[in-house]
Amino acid sequence: MQSDLELLLQLQVIDYDLGELERSKEYLPDMMENLTREMTEAQGRLEQARKALEQARIRQREIELDIASKETQLQRFQEQMMSIKTNKEYDALVAQIDGTKFGISDAETQMLEVMDTIARMEQEIPELEKAAGEMVQNNDRQLKVLQEKIDAIGDKVASKMAERDRIVQAVPRQIKSMYERVRKGRGGTPVVPVRKRACSACFKALTPRKVQEIKKGDQIHTCESCGVLLYWDESISN
């Protein structure tokens, strides 16, 4: 019976490993998706910054043309002052000159803002390029490792299943049925040691008689409270 218990403990380890492999099949793709999304977002920020810089430069050229046009218009108005004949014409022309000067001043203010944006973006873009490049290099490396793990899962599962089949064939049918029933019914760990004379799964105290029977190791015992299979381990059960 002790050998059957040892087989069950081996089987339990294999089942745990298989469970971890199955969970890996779920979370590894999520990790890869997160890494890919990080790179996409970094590239998006870089492209957005480049687009903002290009738009700012276009806006700068538009303002330059607008200022040049207004300055030409102002010069023409000032030349017209020489030919003014009436106060009404003078007042109208002064209003046009003032309006044009205000337009030039406003355009120059916009120009300063655009130039500030251009200077900031010209400094920011190389930093974004460096950050994006480092992220791509790092994430690509991680993606390669994760992909290798995913590719290896199938082989590992096949190997574990083969080992499991070998052990299952050596376990008596009745004991195997008990193990599978507990494993599927409650999940977690089907075979647990007695700890401080109690079930280490539900912590239910065991009777002295039960403890003595488990210590003998001549048959498989279950916890009357939670149903797990119990065994005695001298190093932790006392």
Cα 36–chain centre separation? 9
Compute φ and ψ for 230, nearest 5 degrees. -110, 150
pLDDT category, 222, cuts 50, 70, 90? very high
Highest-pLDDT range among 101-110, 148-157, 217-226, 228-237: 101-110
Average pLDDT of the residues in 97-108: 96
d(CA 189, CA 201): 8
For the domain 14-171, what is the CATH code?
A: 1.10.287.1490
DSSP secondary structure code for residue 219 in this structure: S
Q: Tokens for 111?
A: 């120009």
Average pLDDT of the residues in 168-177: 92
Q: Residue 35 above 70 pLDDT?
A: yes
Domain positions in the chain: 14-171, 175-237
Output the pLDDT for position 25: 85
Residue pair 210/221 in contact by the 8 Å Cβ criterion? yes
What's the mean per-residue pLDDT of the chain? 92
Q: In this structure, how many other beta carbons lie within 10 angstroms of the beta carbon of residue 102?
A: 11
pTM over 0.85: no
Q: Residue 86 above 60 pLDDT?
A: yes
Q: Residue 2 above 70 pLDDT?
A: no
Angle at which helices 2-80 and 87-170 pack, to 10 degrees? 170
